[in-house]
Structures are given as C-alpha cells and as structure tokens.
C-alpha cells in the first residue's frame, strides 16, 4: 500500500484544517473518513427530499479568521451571512428581543427594566474585556506548567504578561468570571428574569453544567469569542449549511494536492516499537505513514482505535476518566412555510435570529436537574433558527428548514438505552415547547429528524454525543486539555497527534485545534511553520 | 489621646484572636460584643434545662496550633474532651463505613477502595498542607504587589513545584472542579463517596457536582495539614474555646464589653475615628477592626454613602446564602444507631448514603426549598463530656443541609415541617430516637442570622468558593484585611482564609494591622 507523509483520521473540520495546513507545506497527506461523506459534525445533509439540514452544528462564528484567510476559504465557496439578534419568548406572551445594535438592545432592555439597561452597559464592557483577553490564546499551544523547557517558560510568560496587562482589578474580575456560575454572574448585574435567561443560554450550550454551576460563565465566553467579518461575538449562517465550511476546507486541502478517502473506517492505529506506522481500515486495507493525526475525541482515539498494550497505562485511565458527556439533542425540521410566533411580527428581523423559549434561570436549572436524573429536560432550553429565511439554497422555494438545538438530553436514560418511543417522546417535548408559542407551527411540519446524544455518537462518532469533544471545565481546559501533560497535541506514542476539539482550545467550529496541531507537527518535522499564532485584530 | 488604640467589633473567635495579638504588640484594645457572652458563633448554650450544646459551630476541625500555642490556650482553660474523631458514614441497614486518618473500614468494601482511600487521603493531606501555608499568610496581590506579596507568591509557586510533577499536575487538574467527578474516578463504594462528598459541601451552597467542592474539601481538611487526623470536641463545648481566647486576650490587657452592640463605624474624610455604640456612647479610636461579616460591616455599620459606588456594588454582590441548619436534641438516654457500637456513637456520624442523594438534597436549595431528605453531620458530645447533660442523659447536635436562608414559603410557616423532616430522616438511622427526645431546637439560617448576627446565616460569612477565595475574598478593595476606609480592618471569616473555628483570619489581620499602622 501507498506510503503517506501524514494520515489524518476523520474528515471533521479540524481534521481537514490540519490536513490542509500539512498539504499546503508540501506533505503528501491522506484523510480517511468513516462516513460516506465528509464533515463530521460540520455537515449539510439532505435527509428529506429537497431539504438540506445542517444536522449537527448549525451556526458559525468561532471559525478563526486567520484560517479562513490562510486557506482562502471564501474562494473555495464559504460565505457566512451574519444574522444578529434573536428573541426569547416568555410564558406571559411577551418576549425579549436581542439586537446586534447596541442602542436597540438598550431600548429593548429598558422596556423590561431601566435599571437593567444601565447595568447592561457595564455588563457589555466587562464581558468584552474577557473576550479580548482570551482570543489571542486560541491559536497558541498551551504551555506545560510543570516543564522547565524554554518554550514552555516563554509561553507561560506570554500568558502571565497578558494577565498582567489587565491590572489588579480587572484581573480579579477575570478570575471571578472564570470561576463563577453564569447565573450568579448575571445576578450581579440584572434583575429581569428573561434577560438573564436570554444571556445564560450561551453558558450551558453543549455542556453538562447548569446555569448555577460554577464554571459556566467561562462556557459563555466560549460562545462569545468568535466573530463574523470582524464583528466580535456575532454569529452567522454558512450559506448552504455548515457543510459549506467542511466543503471549503476539503477543497482547500485538495487544491494543495491532498487526498480524501470516504467510507474508510479506521479500525486500528498501528504502532510498532513505540511509534505509529500507519492505520488499518475495517475493510482490511492498510496505509502507512510515520505521522498519524487523530481528529477523533481522546476517549475514542485511545480506547477504541488503539490497543491498550500500545499505550502507557496512565493514558488509558485518563482517557476512560475523560469527561465527555452527552447533554444535547437536536431536531431538524422541514416546514411547509414560515411559522408565526405569538406576539412577534412575521416581518420582524428577529425572525432571522435565534429563538429561545426559557424565560428564567430557574427553568433552565431545573432542565439541568432533569438531565442529572437521567431524563431529557421537561422544559428544555432550545436554540432554534430558521436559516432558510436568508439562505434559500437549503429548501424548496417558499419552504423552510428549522434547526432546533436542545439542552439537555442525556446519552443514556435512567431507564436504560434510548428506545424509539423515548426518542418520539423527547421530540414531542421539543415540538410542544415551540408549539406553545407558535399556533401554526405543528401544521407546517413535513418532516422531523430527532437526534439524541446516542444518535449523534452513532453517526458522527463523538463519544456520548458531546458536541465539544469533552467538557469545558477547568480539569479539561488549556494545559489540562485533554489531559495534563498531553496538551501539546502529541500523543503518548511517537508520531501520533491529536487535532480534534478534545484538545485546546476546545469545541465549536473553530478549526484552531487542527491548526495548532499542524504547528506542532511542523515543529517536530523541523519545517517552517505555516500556522499563524496571532491575529492582527486581537 | 484616646483611651483605646483599637476597637474590635465582635468577640467571635477571630475578633478575640485579633485583639489578643494586637494587645501582645502593645495596642490598647477594646472588644465591643453585642451578645451577653463572648464567643460569636463558637459558644456553648443551655437549650433545655440541664442540657447544653455548642450552639452554632460544634466541632473543632482546624484550629490553628500556632495560635493555641502563642495564646497559651491550655493555660487559659482549653481542654479537649476528645480529638482525632473518626467519621462514620451511617447506612439505614447498619453497614457503615468508618474513616480514621487514612484508614477506612466497613463490610463489603473492596480492597481497591480501601487502598484507594489511603492514597487519596495522603494526596489530599499534601494539598491541605500547601493550602494551610497559604491560609496562614496575607493573600497576595498579583500586580499591585509589594515585596511581601512577591515573596508570598514565590513561596506559593515554589511549594506547588515542590509537590513534584505528578502531584502538581493533579492539583492543577482537580483544584477547580467538583468532588463528584473526582470521587467517581477513584472509588466505587457509594456510601464511601457519599460520606466524603459531605466534606466538600458542609456549610456551602453547593452540591457534590458543583465545581469548587474539591477546594472546599481541602479547606475542611486543613486540620490534616496541621497534623490532626479528625475533628476535636472541646470540653464544655465550643464556648470553652472562646472563653479561653477571651481569658488570653484579657491577660494581654484587652478589655471586653459584653451587651455592647456597635451601631455605627464612624468615618471622617475617609478615615475611621471610632465607633458608636447602641447606648449612644461614642468610642474614639484610630483603628477599628470588624469581626462582623463584610455585608454587615460595609452596608450597615459603615454605610454605602461613605463608600465608592464600585466597591459598594462588590460588597452587595458578595454571595452569602446560608443553607445550613442546626438541630439540637436533649435525649433521656443514649440513642442507638443501627449497626453502630455505643463506643462509636461518640464519633462524627454522617448521613449521606450516596452521591446522588447528596446532590438531590442540594437541588431544592437552588429554588428556595429545603431538602425533603437532608444530609447531616451528627455529634453526641455528651459521650465525651459529661458536663453537657445530666448523668445518663445525652445531647445530640447535628448540622443539617440543605435549608436555604431565603425559603420561598418563609421559615415561620415551614420550620415545624422542616423539623419533622429532619427527625424522620434521623429515625431511619436511629429508629428509637424520637421516644428519647426530651427537648429539641432547630436553628434555621434565618435563626442563625438573628442569633449570631451573621448576614444570610452563612457560617463562612461569605460562600467559600474560588470566586471568593484568596485575593478575591471578600471583595476587591478589601482583600488584604484593610478596607477603603483608612484605619478600618476586617478580621472575620469573610476575610482570607475563611470560616471555621481556626483563628487565622484574626491572626493574619492583626499582623497586617501592625505592619500597616506602625505610626499609630
């Protein structure tokens, strides 16, 4: 069989990013993908005739602009349309609107509470400070704090310097922000339940934490640190669905001469004498390379496609203890027309943004309690969008596609594995929640795809269906991600690398882990580094 | 020339420690205490004829041995009725788990859990030793740091390095996360995990799944860092600790006035000039040291008009949601706990059958409801100390969680049903106990606020969590014992390192005052 300079396992956005950088440097790179299509969780799929679903990830913001520029993704077809704003429906029939425009946002908050409108100015300034602090670290390799290597010490100093520039008071606020619950944090600023609920959503999406769990404020930051066209914190729709992101990455990769094999499931990473020599496929084929990069999550990499005997014992334990908890579900819905929502003008710009149905922190925390008790939330937090309003490519004319992200759903129920009846009941809970605020919604439904965490695992390969490839808690952030001592993208076996969201800086369609891993590979190969470390705007 | 150099507000253990150290340094100190007796939340009280109990704090977990030595507390009458108490995790079917130092015993425990616990205990003790060092010093500022801070930071960095690579990595991994995950990684026995999780949530508005609980666990085990292997019970109850401290303070020349509430901290041009008492009398002093909680100190005694808006907001935002209640029972005989020998009834008994139970006990507290199935830390101090109850009789003191300060239904309407809930839970482990009750008393966080003058009824004064830890405790602008008001200092549990009858906040504050007020 052919020999490659590098083999990347998994054609998710990080795998493709990593492969694209390696190929750009002139390496002969193969990407192998288990599914018959590329993208991992960054896909658009036609699961109902005429409709394209962004059936896992569904909105775009975190994708690093350096990478977009470096790999010329717009030239390869990527177009992100910002949507801005959104709406949270309240049980009393009113709603709370979110606007991209600061003045409009203040007016809307003042409609609910003048005091909170004043506080929002402070909140906005404070959170923006945190965002600015973290962005420069996304495209850097975390230092090992136990190491005395010059590179690690230099990187630690870089970290220290960034913190030092904050000044004592802001540094204090930063530590508090990183360790507090989003609920407590918002309670410090605001009195209006629905405002707090609207902001808190970003603190729990994809995470097995509640709004009152310390550490959830950081998760909020994780959703704020992206941008669309330079607008920090903004979100947008990729035209053609999220598959457009992986599609553009794949085209970039191929334009550098890279090769992708789909329907090629890796059964084993081959290790000989303590170093990787290639991969073995389920169909018996073998491909050889001194460098194997896994885009799979750390648990799956070390416990499923590697032999325990090839690994140090502590790695196997760490992989088994790695916190990768399924907490999210998804509904993709084909609609015969655009639904209307109680109290909302059908021509409102808010229709284009994301819609939420949780109007208090207490409801959101109770939704988490349900998850802890091994059931899906009875009053789930939903992040719902109808991208076909701005992107007509995803549904037939006049028809619409709706994407509903659902928090929380457990990977396994207290009663055992998910059954079809459970999935239907879960779907009904979500549809009812939306139906409560949209009288015509249910009549417009043509097709519904309900995805439990179990379904996401089965299809995409993310353990437990965790969308971030591992919880974003302090034991798994920065130099602890995925494990202490292994945060620099290198596996415990020579020639083995990790490039997925399970590594720093974590999940979301960001591509930073893939790029960072490429930088480490260049370093080991003693080649010129093509991966940027900083962004002019930061 | 005023009569006093310093007025200390409140004769709680930290106020007494601080006053004694200040007096040792030659300061003339007055302690103004609102209550009839000294002691704050560390007192012994007769709650039924002939029966006395430690009314708030009931175990000495981590009293600092250096302070006991400096202030010669033994000489001043402090005697331990029992120390290095074992902890016993109760199960309703009697198959208990017994913890003593690094040894855990009990029917059906696997060898892996037994040796795992020994390793866990030893590792936690190494971390507790590190934390104990940090607790004994002023929390450093990181940027506006003077050379004391820089030295302190260097020491902390060096101590963390000295742990060695594996211990250091593990500390950096688990230091900020939750006990639930850590215990599940290490152990399989549910009763063992449940009992250990209690040490992370005791006194806190947190369940085992809440990040911060590993830190809280280490804090509770600071005593292990001081060389003890379990909590102690002082003879005569917790009041004897503060009595001894008061005696030590008086011996240094401190004047203590009981029944003397302070109603106002007087300020002029950003500097304190003394305090106003409930009697209307004014006591002038260039130094005022508050052992009251930060919210009481700044909101009530100083008043927000004297303070800058940003600081006032920070004080307002200090989290201090008491969720802990106390149960006191006068019993006409020794209660029988299923499966527990009489001799072990003197141990620290814990009701926390599994991790999910403890988490479920916490959940209602988030919504302003009390636990329908609470967790408990039970002591029967009369086993060790015959002075607390008539011959042959006993007193039981239990910490009960979770009972939120802000109960939606209101405590007046709910206290009786809460007491019934506690007794029903207790009866599952000591079936005959209801028939032995001569008298009972329940203190809700609301009662604790009223009786012990702690805002929110939180025994740490402010929640002990990472966002209110070290240089963030209690709030930016008041983190190194001094405050935005010149001459006003904090010495209570709301200051670093935090609550528990330990004395370090008082001692650290005294050191800081002496350092900063050389010219006074």
Across residues A364-382, what is the average pLDDT?
98
Q: Is A120 helix (H, G, I), strand (E, B) or coil?
A: helix
Is residue A220 within 8 A of residue A54, CB to CB? The reply is no
Q: CB distance A214–B317 less than 8 Å? A: no
Helices (H), B28-110: 65-70
**Residue A395 exposure: Cα atoms within 13 Å on the Cβ side:** 24
Measured between alpha carbons, how far is residue A488 from residues A140, A297, A312, A505, A514 in Å?
Answer: 10, 15, 17, 11, 12
Q: Does A118 touch chain B if contact means CB atoms closer than 8 Å?
A: no
Q: Does A340 touch chain B if contact means CB atoms closer than 8 Å?
A: no
Helices (H), B285-377: 294-295, 309-316, 355-366
Is residue B66 within 8 A of residue B43, CB to CB? The reply is no
The nearest CA of chain B is from the CA of A508 a distance in Å of: 22
**Cα B201 from Cα B186, distance rounded (Å):** 19
The nearest CA of chain B is from the CA of A214 a distance in Å of: 6
Please give the pLDDT value at position A533: 83
| Residue A351 per-residue DSSP state | G
**Residues in B touching A166 (Cβ below 8 Å):** 143
**A-B Cβ pairs (cutoff 8 Å, strict):** 84
Sequence-distant (≥ 6) Cβ neighbours of residue B217 within 8 angstroms? B124, B179, B196, B199, B200
Q: CB distance A172–B476 less than 8 Å? A: yes
A484 → closest Cβ in B172, B465, B471: B172
**Chain A residues 157-216 with a CB less than 8 Å from chain B:** 163-164, 166-169, 171-173, 175-176, 179-180, 184, 188, 212-215
Q: Given the structure tokens 């907490």, which residue do they identify?
A: A327
Q: Is B301 helix (H, G, I), strand (E, B) or coil?
A: helix
CA angle, A380 then A383 then A388, to 5°:
140
* pLDDT of residue A534 exceeding 80: no
Q: CB distance B168–A145 less than 8 Å? A: yes
Q: Where are the domains of chain A?
A: 6-47+56-80+239-322+467-524, 82-233+325-463
Q: Does A365 touch chain B if contact means CB atoms closer than 8 Å?
A: yes
**Cα B101 from Cα B230, distance rounded (Å):** 7
- Other C-beta atoms lying within 10 Å of the C-beta of residue B166: 13
All domains of chain B, ordered by start, with CATH? 2-43+62-78+236-319+455-519 (3.50.50.60), 120-226 (no CATH)
The nearest CA of chain B is from the CA of A476 a distance in Å of: 7
The nearest CA of chain B is from the CA of A486 a distance in Å of: 11
Is residue A64 within 8 A of residue A139, CB to CB? The reply is yes
Is residue B57 within 8 A of residue B401, CB to CB? The reply is no
Measured between alpha carbons, how far is residue B329 from residues A60, A75, B334, B350 in Å?
Answer: 61, 77, 12, 16
Sequence-distant (≥ 6) Cβ neighbours of residue B355 within 8 angstroms? B180, B183, B184, B190, B193, B194, B197, B208
**Chain A residues 127-166 with a CB less than 8 Å from chain B:** 145-146, 163-164, 166
Q: Among all residues of chain A, which has the CA nearest to that of B361?
A: A369
Q: CB distance B181–A323 less than 8 Å? A: yes
SS3 labels along B328-347 = EEEECCCCCCCCCCHHHHHC
**Cα A315 from Cα A313, distance rounded (Å):** 5
Fold of the A6-47+56-80+239-322+467-524 domain: FAD/NAD(P)-binding domain (3.50.50)
pLDDT tens per residue, range A32-64: 999 999 999 999 999 999 999 999 999 998 999
Q: In angstroms, how far is the first alpha carbon of chain B from the final one?
A: 11
* pLDDT of residue A313 exceeding 60: yes
The nearest CA of chain A is from the CA of B186 a distance in Å of: 10
Q: CB distance A145–B363 less than 8 Å? A: no
pLDDT classification of A83: cutoffs 50, 70, 90:
confident
Q: Does A314 touch chain B if contact means CB atoms closer than 8 Å?
A: no
Average pLDDT, chain A: 95
Quote ipTM for the complex: 0.94
Min mean pLDDT across A65-74, A126-135, B261-270 is at: A126-135
**Cα B399 from Cα B442, distance rounded (Å):** 10
Q: Given the structure tokens 């500022």, which residue do they identify?
A: B141
Is residue A64 within 8 A of residue A75, CB to CB? The reply is no
Is residue A251 within 8 A of residue A76, CB to CB? The reply is yes
Q: CB distance B141–A145 less than 8 Å? A: no
- Other C-beta atoms lying within 10 Å of the C-beta of residue A375: 18
Please give the pLDDT value at position B520: 44
* pLDDT of residue A203 exceeding 70: yes
Enumerate residue ranges in chain B where pLDDT < 70: 1, 519-520
The answer for B424, left when phi > 0, alpha when psi is -120 to 50, beta otherwise, is alpha
pLDDT classification of A212: cutoffs 50, 70, 90:
very high
Sequence-distant (≥ 6) Cβ neighbours of residue B72 within 8 angstroms? B248
Across residues A446-452, what is the average pLDDT?
98
Q: Among all residues of chain A, which has the CA nearest to that of B363?
A: A369
**Residue B503 exposure: Cα atoms within 13 Å on the Cβ side:** 27
The nearest CA of chain B is from the CA of A369 a distance in Å of: 8
Q: Does A480 touch chain B if contact means CB atoms closer than 8 Å?
A: yes
Q: CB distance A214–B210 less than 8 Å? A: yes
**Chain A residues 489-508 with a CB less than 8 Å from chain B:** none
């Amino acid at each position: 069989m052919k020999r490659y300079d590098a083999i990347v396992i998994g054609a998710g956005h990080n795998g493709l990013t990593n492969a694209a950088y390696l190929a750009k440097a002139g390496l002969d790179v193969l990407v192998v993908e288990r599914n018959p299509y590329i993208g991992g969780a960054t896909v658009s799929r036609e699961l109902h005739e005429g409709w394209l679903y962004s059936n896992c990830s569904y909105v775009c913001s975190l994708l690093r602009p350096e990478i977009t520029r470096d790999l010329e993704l717009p030239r390869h077809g990527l177009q992100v349309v910002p949507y801005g704003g959104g709406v949270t429906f309240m049980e009393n029939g009113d709603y709370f609107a979110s606007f991209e425009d600061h003045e409009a946002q203040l007016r809307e908050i003042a409609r609910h509470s003048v005091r909170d409108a004043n506080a929002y100015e402070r909140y906005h300034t404070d959170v923006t400070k945190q965002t600015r602090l973290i962005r420069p670290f996304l495209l850097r390799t975390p230092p090992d704090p136990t190491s005395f290597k010059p590179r690690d010490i230099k990187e630690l100093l870089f970290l220290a310097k960034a913190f030092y520039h904050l000044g004592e008071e802001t540094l204090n606020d930063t530590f508090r922000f990183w360790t507090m619950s989003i609920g407590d944090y918002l309670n410090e600023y605001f009195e209006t339940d629905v405002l707090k609920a609207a902001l808190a959503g970003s603190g729990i999406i994809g995470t097995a934490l509640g709004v009152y769990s310390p550490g959830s404020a950081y998760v909020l930051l994780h959703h704020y640190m992206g941008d669309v066209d330079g607008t920090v914190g903004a979100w947008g729709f990729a035209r053609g669905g999220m598959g457009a992101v992986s599609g553009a990455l794949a085209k970039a990769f191929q334009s550098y001469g890279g090769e992708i094999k789909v329907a090629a499931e890796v059964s084993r990473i081959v290790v000989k004498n303590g170093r990787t020599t290639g991969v073995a496929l389920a169909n018996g084929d073998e491909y050889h390379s001194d460098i194997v990069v896994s885009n799979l999550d750390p648990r799956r990499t070390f416990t499923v496609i590697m032999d325990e005997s090839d690994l140090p014992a502590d790695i196997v334990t760490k992989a088994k203890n790695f916190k990768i908890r399924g907490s999210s579900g998804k509904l993709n819905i084909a609609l015969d027309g655009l639904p209307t929502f109680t109290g909302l003008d059908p021509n409102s710009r808010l229709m284009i943004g994301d819609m939420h149905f949780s109007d208090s922190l207490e409801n959101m925390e109770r939704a988490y309690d349900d998850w802890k008790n091994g059931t899906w939330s009875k009053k789930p937090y939903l992040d719902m969008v109808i991208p076909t309003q701005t992107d007509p490519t995803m549904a037939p004319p006049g028809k619409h596609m709706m994407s509903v992200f659902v928090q929380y759903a457990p990977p396994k129920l207290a009663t055992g594995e998910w059954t079809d009846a459970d999935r239907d009941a879960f779907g009904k809970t979500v549809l009812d929640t939306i139906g409560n605020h949209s009288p015509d919604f249910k009549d417009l439904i043509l097709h519904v795809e309900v995805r439990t965490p179990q379904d996401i695992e089965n299809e995409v390969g993310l353990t437990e269906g965790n969308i971030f490839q591992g919880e974003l808690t302090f034991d798994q952030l920065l130099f602890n991600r995925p494990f202490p001592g292994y945060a620099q993208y290198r596996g415990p076996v020579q020639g083995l690398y990790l490039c997925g969201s399970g590594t720093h800086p974590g999940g979301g369609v960001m591509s930073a882990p893939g790029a960072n891993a490429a930088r480490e590979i260049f370093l080991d190969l003693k080649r010129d580094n093509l991966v940027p470390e900083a962004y002019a705007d930061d | 020339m005023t009569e006093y150099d310093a007025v200390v507000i409140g004769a709680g253990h930290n106020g007494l420690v601080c006053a004694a150290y200040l007096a040792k340094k030659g300061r003339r100190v007055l302690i103004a205490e609102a209550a009839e007796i000294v002691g704050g939340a560390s007192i012994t009280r007769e709650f039924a004829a002939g029966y006395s109990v430690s009314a708030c704090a009931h175990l000495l977990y981590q009293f600092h041995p250096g302070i006991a030595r400096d202030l010669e507390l033994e000489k001043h009458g402090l005697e331990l009725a029992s120390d290095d108490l074992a902890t016993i995790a109760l199960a309703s079917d009697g198959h208990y788990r017994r913890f003593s130092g690094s040894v855990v015993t009990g029917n059906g425990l696997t060898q892996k859990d037994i040796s795992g616990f020994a390793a866990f205990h030893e590792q936690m003790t190494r971390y507790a030793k590190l934390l104990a060092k940090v607790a004994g010093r002023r929390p450093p500022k990181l940027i506006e740091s003077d050379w004391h801070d820089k030295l302190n930071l260097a020491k902390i960095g060096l101590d963390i390095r000295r742990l060695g690579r594996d211990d250091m990595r593990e500390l950096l991994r688990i230091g900020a996360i939750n006990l639930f995950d850590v215990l599940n990684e290490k152990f399989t026995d549910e009763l063992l995990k449940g009992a250990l999780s209690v040490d992370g949530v005791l006194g806190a508005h947190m369940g085992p799944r809440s990040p911060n609980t590993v830190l809280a666990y280490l804090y509770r085990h600071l005593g292990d860092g001081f060389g003890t292997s379990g909590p102690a019970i002082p003879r005569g109850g917790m009041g004897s600790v503060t009595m001894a401290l008061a005696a030590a303070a008086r011996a240094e020349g401190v004047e203590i006035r009981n029944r003397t509430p302070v109603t106002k901290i007087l300020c002029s041009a950003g500097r304190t000039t003394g305090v106003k008492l409930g009697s209307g009398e004014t006591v002038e002093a260039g130094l005022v040291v508050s052992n009251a909680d930060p919210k009481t100190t700044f909101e009530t005694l100083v008043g927000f008009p004297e303070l800058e808006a940003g600081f006032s907001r920070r004080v307002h935002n200090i989290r201090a949601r008491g969720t802990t209640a106390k149960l006191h029972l006068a019993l006409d005989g020794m209660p029988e706990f299923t499966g527990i020998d009489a001799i072990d009834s003197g141990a620290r008994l814990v009701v926390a059958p599994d991790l999910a139970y403890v988490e479920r006990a916490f959940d209602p507290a988030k919504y302003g409801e009390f636990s329908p199935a609470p967790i408990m830390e039970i002591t029967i101090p009369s086993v060790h100390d015959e002075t607390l109850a008539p011959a042959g009789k006993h007193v039981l003191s239990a910490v009960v969680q979770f009972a939120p300060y802000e109960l939606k239904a209101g405590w007046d309407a709910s206290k009786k049903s809460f007491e019934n809930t506690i007794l029903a839970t207790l009866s599952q482990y000591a079936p005959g106990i209801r028939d032995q009750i001569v008298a009972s008393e329940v203190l809700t966080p609301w009662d604790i606020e009223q009786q012990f003058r702690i805002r929110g009824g939180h025994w740490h004064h402010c929640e002990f969590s990472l966002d209110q830890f070290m240089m963030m405790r209690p709030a930016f602008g008041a983190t190194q014992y001094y405050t935005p008001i010149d001459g006003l200092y904090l010495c209570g549990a709301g200051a670093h390192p935090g609550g528990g009858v330990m004395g370090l906040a008082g001692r650290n504050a005294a050191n800081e005052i002496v350092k900063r007020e050389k010219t006074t």
